[in-house]
Each structure stands twice: as C-alpha cells, then as structure tokens.
Amino acid sequence: MDADFSYKKETDAIIGSAFDVLNEIGHGFHEKPYENSLVVEFGYRNIPFLQQPRYPLIYRGVQVSEYVPDLIAFELVIVDTKVIERITDHEIGQMLNYLRITELPVRLILNFKNSKLEFRRVVATTQNFIRRKAP
C-alpha cells in the first residue's frame, strides 16, 4: 500500500465493500458482476457513487475519445474492478493516466480473480501530473 494515506477513510470503506462482495459471490467471474455488486453494497453503506461516468480524452484541444471508469466513489476515488492474474506495473501506469484525465485524487484497482482480494491504491501527486503543453 502507498505511503500516502490521503482519503484513507474513503478507500477503507470501498475496500471493505469489496471484501463483502468477494465473500458473498466468490471469485473468478467476469468484471461486471463485481462492479454491479459494489453498486449494491455502496447503496447499503450509503457510499455516494457514479457508475460508468464519461470523461473526455483531449488531444491538442480536440476530443479524440473518452475514458469510462467502472465507478467513482465519494466524488474522489476511481474504482476499477478487475479479474486478472495479478496487478502489475501496467495497471499502475494506466492508473496515473486515468487520474490525470479525471483530475480525481485516488484510484483503487480491486482484483477479484482469486479467493483473496488483491487491491492497489494510487494517490495523485503534483509530480505525477506535470503537464506538457501542446505546441
């Protein structure tokens, strides 16, 4: 887990929700059942969330695509459900891009592949987001 514990209360609530989902429905399904189960659990816990909001991906002032995260919780945390062998540097790199696009401060990857929940938390820092202006 990262040394920066900003938003610990919020991320702990999300991780606790993920443990409850995994304990209830088990591991190894596709990603969507976990996303939808988290929606139900967030409702029970009164965790504010958005499911699949859209964020524009801009290149040289033109929207070229969009990023659609699974969930945004507490208006702060990108919640990404995965069913992968393990969380790697590739996913961490994606996290940083997604934080930059959304301008949100925290992202959690929740991996439901195995019977033990794997998760990674990344907090945006100024150093992560030194932006280069397009010429």
Does a structural domain hold residue 93?
Answer: yes
Which domain range does residue 53 map to? 8-124
Mean pLDDT taken over the chain: 89
Does a structural domain hold residue 105?
Answer: yes
Number of domains making up the chain: 1
As to burial, measured by CB atoms within 10 angstroms (0-12 exposed, 13-18 middle, 19+ buried), residue 107 is buried
Does a structural domain hold residue 133?
Answer: no
Question: Mind listing the pLDDT tens digit for each residue in 92-114?
Answer: 888 888 999 999 999 999 999 99
pLDDT lower than 50: segments of the chain: 1-3, 127-135
Give the contacts of 9 (CB within 8 A, at least 6 positions apart): none
